[in-house]
Structure 1
Amino acid sequence: MESKNQETAQNTTVEEQKPSETKKKTVIPVGIGAAGKVWRQKREISFHQFANNSPFQVKTSWEKKQERRKKLERTKELQKSMRTSRIEEKRELIRRQEENKMRRQQNEIKNAQIQVIKNVGKLKKMSKKQLKQIKKTRIDKNGNVEYVDAYAK
């Protein structure tokens, strides 16, 4: 009798365990990854499948494409206008610098104390430093008087 009671007791425990076993999922241990990051879980789908099914891969409507093209054209036009304005600013800056240079030269000519060297023998006696300081006047194409080094061509 005791053996029958034990068998029935074992059967009841087995029956009780069966529903709990069906609820549990069988987890197959994968092991530790090569990098040793145990906390990371393995991806369910590969990156390739994810990238192909991503919202970026979904086809866009014709209106949206046209809108993107117009936006791209506007940005290109804006870039072009910015480039041209920058080039114009540089040209204006160069022009102003040239004007200032000409003005300085003209003011230098006006304020200069000129001493004409009539005796050529003095030039032959002068040292190199003194010869470098000597300037010669020349009239350019526009009719402006300019100072040039004595031995400049």
Structure 2
Amino acid sequence: MTTSTTTAVANKSEMKAEIPLGRNASGRSWKKVATKRSSSLTKTKVNNQTKTWEQRRAEKLHRKEVLELQKQLTEERVKAIRDKKERRLENEKRRTENEYEHAKKLSQSLNNSKLKSTLKTMSKKQLRQIKKTRVNTKTGAVEFIPAYSK
């Protein structure tokens, strides 16, 4: 019994010795064997690890300038978007007011006594132009809806 255990131990030690250097015991080839610790690497002026006070100050100043420029550009972009939106809303408001004024004048020209005969003589295209007014509950503005919509 002792001979078989010693041979088993000897076989295991032989298997470990058979693994070639530069290869992991697990057989995972993508895992690299660590050869040096980062603390053992020397830091010299050659590999730019140490910088003078002036260099660090200049880098900090440059970084600050870049951040300020970036902030300014974003502010300009946001301002342009805001102005564009404001202009679009103003144009939309003016358009609805003009439409309301136009419809008001048109409704005055249609006399109630003549309304039936006028509607009968109108073409389909003209009938589609007739709109009803409705007050928007959210904005309080008067808006137009098609006469035959539900």
TM-score (structure 1 length as normaliser): 0.47
TM-score (structure 2 length as normaliser): 0.48
Q: Structure with the greater relative contact order (CA < 8 A, sep ≥ 6): 1 or 2? A: 1
Find the structure with the greater CA-based Rg: 1
